Structures are given as structure tokens and as C-alpha cells.
Chain A
Amino acid sequence: MDNKRKDHPLVNTTEPNLLEETFNYDLPPLIKFDGPIVEYIDGKPVQFDPKSVLTKDIFITDTTFRDGQQARPPYSIEQMVKIYDMLARLGGPNGVIRQTEFFLYTKNDREALDQCRALGHKYPECTGWIRANKGDFRLVKEAGLKETGMLTSCSDFHIFKKMKFKNRQECLDAYCEVVAASFEAGIRPRCHLEDLTRADIDGFVLPFVERLMKMSEQVPEELSVKIRLCDTMGFGISYPGAELPRSIPKLIYKLNQECGVPGSRLEWHGHNDFHKVHVNGGTAWLYGCDAVNTTLFGVGERTGNPPLEGAVIEYISLKGDLCGIDTSMITEIARYMISIGMPIPENYPFVGKHFNTTRAGIHAGGLRQDEQIYNIFDTTKLLGRPPRVAITDKSGVDGIAIWVNEYFGLSGEDRISKIKVHKVAQWVMDQYEKDGRLSTITDEELEAKVKELMPDYYSKYKKSFQSV
């Protein structure tokens, strides 16, 4: 056996190495690659270049109004218009959030679409979503849309058990008939390969996609079929070496390289049944699928979809630049969604009430000395969410000092020292040591105590306090 042991001499230094090339606090930490990825496909090594995402036009698409809306009470038209407007502002002028999709079956659906388009945003582009049904193209055409998604489920579970086709040929022919109708109507079809990660890839999926590619040769490029890879049950796996049909790298390679579908016409759509949804989306970008389909805060069927805001942060980390994205909109959208009744768990990344709340006093001490120690990036600058502390008997005076300074909105030289908060700190300790309290001190309680015990500071610095 080769001896892989190496010596690793200490690199002594009196100056800290804070790895700022990766952990530039002004951005989410960068995802950097130092070599190619190799995946063995059909027994042969295939190289992928992950650094290509730096220059490739990868982008995000949204299905908040479709998959997202299938998992919750319907949005009102006004809510959809507001959300659409905020998505446009979040994604920025470069169209990082490139498209969104709408149902077209009801009057409200169509009215919502019309009002969204009336805002005049270039992005996200509005597309439709219909059943694979020739008649439904009328709806798309009447709506004046140029592209529509349509279900072309591809696993035998769907072909035989759900749609009751006699055989695969009958199914394939039926789908292609609808695609042809789409071309005839001048509408670009986006074929959603539902349940792809449980399908017979060689036996049905690749022959079907090859046929779609052949059909697309007969039409202008702007009508060429797009393919949405639908990991309907969350079975997709990002791990190198995983087998088909679950392997995301192999699925994308087969469609992109063997069937010739350009990356710009491939879109990944995931579900979170096995907690893999976000990483699976990022994986799709790395292996040649340019679009990841997402919903706001991952709300979607069952366990949900790739979270849009997670994809936005991932995008910035991969690109190393904001690319016109307005990250503060992530917080604004979260506040709006909470205001219309969408529950967001308190520990949900980037938007939960306590996503950057430190509870342990020893961590609060570190946070007070340099917030980078326990904060993932400059959440104040990028999300309008300064790091917070949750106050218990474990928080220490450092924790309470951080809470008070954040409450008063003080920074830099204006920050109050921990000496000045000692009365509040003593009250907190008494809650636990004298009164036997077990629960966390709420923001409302602390606010009342600060008002009572630090009246001079309260009257000088009090401004409105928002916990999310």
C-alpha cells in the first residue's frame, strides 16, 4: 500500500490568517474549486469543470405561484403581484431570477398574470404551466405567453399506473403530439420529465428526449424544446459514483452530452423529501444544467422545493459577486410572507427569526469582540439582519450587551459597554436563580426591563425594533 502520510509542520505566525479570499465578510463565503470533477459514466471517466460556473449564464427560475401554490392556500391576485414585483427586485436587472410560471385555468390565474406583466419588469419572464393536452395551448396562446411547461411524466409509475398508457410507445407518441401542437401554436414547450429519478433512463427517457431534439431541429431556436428534470419525490443524489436513475451528475450528462440538450435548455426541479433539495440544485449547476427551479422559502408540494433565497445565496457564492442581486429583498419578502400568514421556522436559514441568533454566552462573548467570529457573513449589510443573541441564564453579560446595543441600533463607538447593562443582567440572572425560570427571556420582556432599568439610554436611543 502507498504511504500517504505526510509531514505537516506548523506555520507559526503572530498575525491571524482569516482566509479572506474565501471568507470576505461582505459577501456570502465563496465556493471555490481547485480542480476538475471526475465522474465515472458507463465505466469511463468524464471530467466536469466546476469553475465554468464563474462565466456560464447559470440562473434561477421560480415556481412559487405553481408548485409553491399547490402546497398552501391560494394567493390573492394582489399578493401575487406584490410577490412578483419583489422577485423582480431581488433578482435584479441581469435576470438572475429569469422566469416564473403561472397556472392559466381560472379567471384569477389569468388576471394575476396580466397584472404581473403590467408592472413592466423584464425579469422574471412569465411562462405558463399546463397539462400535456393539446386543448390547453389555447389558454397559453390567449394569455400571450411564449413558453409553457407541460407535464411529460417519464417513470413507469406514471406512464402505466397513473396515466394508464398501454405501453411506452403510446405514451411517447402522445407527448410528442402535444409538443407538435405547441410548435404549431408558436409556443415553446418546456417538457417536465416528472419522476425522472425513478424512471428507466435508457429505456424511455433518453429515447423520448432524442425524439424531442429531432423535432426541435425543424423549428426556430426560440421554440426548441426545453427540458425540466423533475426530481418529483426527492430521490435525486448528488454523490459522485451514485447510480442512475438517482445520480444527478449522470442524468444531466446523458441529457446534455448524449442527447445534445444545451445547458441553457436544462432546468432542475427538486423536492426535499430526503433533506437534499438545496445541495441537489447546486449540483445541477455544476454538472451542466444552467437553471434551477425554486420556490420562495422552499414551500411546495409535501416537503417543498429548492428554496429560492438559498439558490440566490449559492449563486453569489459560486459567482463571487452580487451580479445585480438585491439581497435585502430576501428579508423584505420574508417579512411580507409572514405578514400574509406563511409560517417560517425560527431557525430557517437566512430568514428565520433566529437564523443568526447566538444563545450561548461564550459565543456571545466572541460575537461582541468581533461579530465575524459567530456570524456567517455581514448579515446586517446583505440582509438587514444584525446578529442577535437570545437571552437566557447562559447568555452572560456579553449577550445582554449585544442585545441592548442591537435594540438601540448602536454600532461602533456608540455601542454601550457591558458595564452599563449590569442592572438588566442582574434581573435576567434573578429570573433563573431566584425565580426558577426555565424559558428564554422574550424580546418584549427585555424591552420592558431596558425601559425600566436604563431609562436615560431608552429615552435617548429608542427606535422601532423589528425581530425579523
Chain B
Amino acid sequence: MDSIELKNRVKKVTAEVLELEESDIQDGANFASDLGASSLQSIRLVAGFEEEFDIEMDEDKALQIQTVSDAVTFINSYLK
């Protein structure tokens, strides 16, 4: 999977969980402070990414991810 497709799918999940428009999600956006994610929504994001990419992430490390671009990098490490 190329990086653009990966990024778009991360943004798709983010938009679904946070009930936003994909076009409003910037690459460097912080899930909590910029996009308004609550603690429960952060967990739903991780679950959404796991389901979307069929991966199992380290819970503690996944929940430390703060931005969309960091999420892309982190998920990519599981796809290699």
C-alpha cells in the first residue's frame, strides 16, 4: 500500500469516528486538541484502525499517538 492510500484510509476512519468531513482533517492535526477526540473516541480510533488495516496494535503505544501523521507512520510499521 502506498503512503497516500494509507493516509487517506486513516483520515476516512478518523472522519467516521469523530463525525467530521475528511477534507477538514489536516495531516498534522492533533486528534485531541485539533479534532476534539475524547478519551473514548481515541480508543475507538485505535479500534477503527485495527479493523481497517486488519492489524493488532500495542495498546499503550497506540494510545500515545497524538497526530494524524504519527498514526500513519505507526500503522505503516505494522504493514511492513
Contacts and interface: CB of A to CB of B under 8 A. Distances in A.
A425 B40 CA distance: 8
A134 interface: no
Contact of B46 (A396, A419, A425, A426): A419
Contacts of B40: 397, 422, 425-426, 429
Interface string B25-60: 000000000000001100110110010000001010
Interface string B42-80: 011011001000000101001000000000000000000
Question: What is the interface of chain B mostly: helix, strand, loop, or mixed?
Answer: helix
A419 B62 contact: yes
A387 to B, nearest CB: 20
Contacts of B46: 419
Nearest to A418: B43
Contacts, number: 24
Contacts of A396: 39
A420 interface: yes
Nearest to B57: A419
Q: Which of B39, B43, B59 has the most CB of A within 10 A?
A: B43
A388 B62 CA distance: 26
Nearest to A425: B40
A417 interface: yes
A422 B39 contact: no
Q: Tell me which of B39, B40, B57 has the highest count of chain A C-beta atoms within 10 A of its own C-beta.
A: B40
Given A396-B39, A397-B39, A422 B44 contact: yes
Contact of B50 (A418, A419, A425): A419
B39 A426 contact: no
Given A420-B47, A425-B43, 17 more contacts: A396-B39, A397-B39, A397-B40, A397-B43, A418-B43, A418-B59, A419-B43, A419-B50, A419-B57, A419-B59, A422-B40, A422-B43, A422-B44, A422-B47, A425-B40, A426-B40, A426-B44
Given A396-B39, A397-B39, A417 B44 contact: no
Contacts of B39: 396-397
Contacts of A429: 40
Interface residues of A, number: 10
Interface residues of B, number: 10
A248 to B, nearest CB: 51
Contacts of B50: 419
Interface in A324-355: none
Interface in A404-451: 417-420, 422, 425-426, 429
B13 to A, nearest CB: 13
A426 B39 CA distance: 11
B73 to A, nearest CB: 19
Contacts of A420: 47
Nearest 5 pairs between A and B by C-beta? Answer: A417-B59, A422-B47, A422-B44, A422-B43, A419-B47
7 contacts: A397-B43, A417-B59, A419-B43, A419-B59, A422-B40, A426-B44, A429-B40
Contacts of A418: 43, 59
A417 B62 CA distance: 12
A157 B40 CA distance: 65
Interface in A363-419: 396-397, 417-419
A370 to B, nearest CB: 14
B64 to A, nearest CB: 13
Nearest to B42: A397
Contacts of B59: 417-419
Contacts of B43: 397, 418-419, 422, 425
A429 B40 CA distance: 9
Nearest to A421: B43
A393 to B, nearest CB: 10
A75 B38 CA distance: 55
